Each structure stands twice: as C-alpha cells, then as structure tokens.
Amino acid sequence: MKPRVLVSREVFDETLAMLGEHFDIESNQADIRRSSGELAAALADKDGAVISTSDRVDAALLDQCPRLKIVANVGVGYNNLDLPAITAHGVMATNTPGVLTDSVADYTFGLVIATCRRMTEGEHYLREGQWKGTYLKQMLGMDVHGATLGIIGFGRIGQTVAKRARGFDMNILYHNRQRLGPAEEARHEAHYRGKNDLLREADIVVLLTPYTPESHHMIGAAEIALMKPTAVLINVARGGIVDDAGLIEALAAQRIRGAGMDVYENEPALDPGFLRLKNVVLSPHLASASEPTRKAMANTAARNCIAALTGSTPPNLLNPEVKPRR
Ligand code: DGY
C-alpha cells in the first residue's frame, strides 16, 4: 500500500503529479478552508501532509494523527508550526527556503516604491474621476533613490533587498539578531545599527524578520515614535510583528509619512482602520505570489514530503533532532 498524503490546499497539477508517483493523495483542489478540527480529521489516517502557512499544526492536532510522519509547509515562514510539539510527536517538519527569496525582494521593493510615491493613492484618485489636470505640487511623494533604507531581519531576503537597494544608490542600514562579519557587511554595503538607532535614522524601514514570541509587536507606538515623521514602514514579513492598531493610530495622526503592508495581525481579517487611511498601501499577503515562485514553493514542499516518506532526509528539515516515527 502506498503512503497516504493530504495536500491541504490547492496546488499546481505538476505538484500533484510529483506526489502521485509515490503516494495516495487526498487533495483540496477546490481550496476549501478547513477548521483545525476538520484538518485534524482529514489527517487522522495520513502519513504525510503538504500544508499551507494558514494551517496551524500543534499538539492538539498531532494527538489525533498517529500515522503522521511529515508536515511539509508550503512557505518559508513557519510560525504556524509548533515545532517543539511536532518534534515531540516524532514528526518531521520542513519549509521552502531559497526559492522565494528574489520574488519577495522584488515585491518588497514594489511596496517601497508604491508607498513612497503614493502609487495606489494616485490610482484611486484617477478611478474616482478626480483627476482634472497635472500641476506642480500634485500628490508629492518622497524619493526612494538615495534614501536611507533600514532593514530589520537581514537573512536571505533582507540581503537580497539590500542588493536591489544598491541599484537605487541607497544608504543601507540593517539590524539582525546576529551581526554579520566585516567582510559580509562590506559585501552588502550595509551598516549595522541597534534597532532603535535604525528606527531613528532610516527613511524607509523594512521588516523581514521571522514571527516569534520575541518579535511579537516588535514595532508598536513606542518604536514608531522613534521614526522620522517623514519615514515609511514596510511589513512583508508576518502579521503580529507590527502592532496594527498602534500603526493605524500613528498613520491617522501622520506621525510617520506612510506604510506599505502585505501581512496583518489576524489575517485574512483586516483591521478596518487601515481602509480609512490614504497613507497606507495594502496587499493581501502576495509577496511570494509570482507563478514560477509559487510553483517552486509547492514543488519544494512535495520533494520534502517524498524524501521523508521514502527513507531520505528532507532537504529542508526544520527539526533535525527529531526521532522519526516508523
Ligand atoms: C512564506 O513563505 O512564508 C510566505 O509568507 C508565504 O506564506
């Protein structure tokens, strides 16, 4: 009998074909969202799972899934996984690093430019029929080229954003849990700052840090108060890193110039306060959503699942200390 694998959300046909060579698959091509109880029920008789970052995997779910050996997350961020609980249950966990780096860096830059140059505000103005002619002081924004960019979270994606920034002649500051060595800093033309100093100095602050208990509300009213009144904040990392209510209040009071947001606390629910503001650019968690990248993410997750259930070590194992179930 082939191992049984659940694919929790819609994936590409080629991903299903890869998995189908090895497994009996239950897929969800209708892309119906499941409650955690429904997900647990669907996983109760499965050996493997290819899941999305909106599926939560924790002890309560795992207790109901005695056969499960691998949870392959389609995404690099894995705050939806309770890794200690997964490891304690003898289950392997994997993510999809690397394949989305460039697409997320591209999108980050798109959001930086859209926010600084008020692109979506301009589009709304046009669509509402308000454009009566061009004049000198119309919808003035700030320049991206030559500005000081502060990147909080200087891993793969942060470093790739820095590469884009060099092309825009930007002054690059970074903050990271671990400071890079001098040679690496020189290679990225990036200068280390403590978090508060970075917030004080940057014209554009980009968040690219993982969401953990330590990074919960890393940016709230107190941190925003440190930023220049002309600065903008960009969150493409995870909801919860920013205190959304605090940001909305700061934007409404124009304590900073603007924000570009791709991720939110409690998404897909959105704090309606955002919708009332003109100085925020909003998108629905799209940073990795180019077709080739989303295919690469799904196929990477499939490869991790195949490796785990055919006796190999998955390439992107997050818990190498796990003692896998048999
Ligand atoms: C990721 O890979 O973590 C992206 O945010 C997509 O969910």
Ligand 1 atom at minimal distance to the Cα of residue 75: 2
Compute the distance from residue 140 Cα to the ligand 1 centre, in Å. 33
Note the pLDDT tens digit of each residue in 262-292: 999 999 999 999 999 999 999 999 999 999 9
Compute the distance from residue 77 Cα to the ligand 1 centre, in Å. 5
> 149 with 165: CB under 8 angstroms?
yes
Ligand 1 atom at minimal distance to the Cα of residue 237: 5
Q: Which of 204, 233, 209 is nearest to 220 (CA)?
A: 233
> 234 with 206: CB under 8 angstroms?
yes
Q: What is the DSSP letter of 62?
A: H
Compute the distance from residue 86 Cα to the ligand 1 centre, in Å. 20
Compute the distance from residue 136 Cα to the ligand 1 centre, in Å. 40
The pick from 96, 241, 288 for probing ligand 1's pocket by mutation, whose C-beta has the most ligand atoms within 8 angstroms, reads 288
> 84 with 91: CB under 8 angstroms?
no
Amino acid at 164: R
> In sequence order, which residues have a C-beta less than 8 Å from that of residue 214 and are 6 or more positions away?
none
Whose alpha carbon is nearest atom 4 of ligand 1? 75
Whether the predicted model's global pTM rises above the 0.85 cut: yes
Please provide the average confidence, as pLDDT, over all residues in the chain. Answer: 97
pLDDT range class, residue 23, cuts 50, 70, 90: very high
Q: Which helix (H) or strand (E) is 70 found in, with range?
A: strand 70-74
Q: What is the C-alpha to C-alpha distance for residues 15 and 302, in angstroms, rounded to an integer? A: 7
Residues tagged active-site: 238, 267, 285
Note the pLDDT tens digit of each residue in 163-212: 999 999 999 999 999 999 999 999 999 999 999 999 999 999 999 999 99
Ligand 1 atom at minimal distance to the Cα of residue 53: 7
Check if 239 has its Cβ closer than 6 Å to any atom of ligand 1.
no
Phi then psi dihedrals of residue 234, to 5 deg: -125, 125
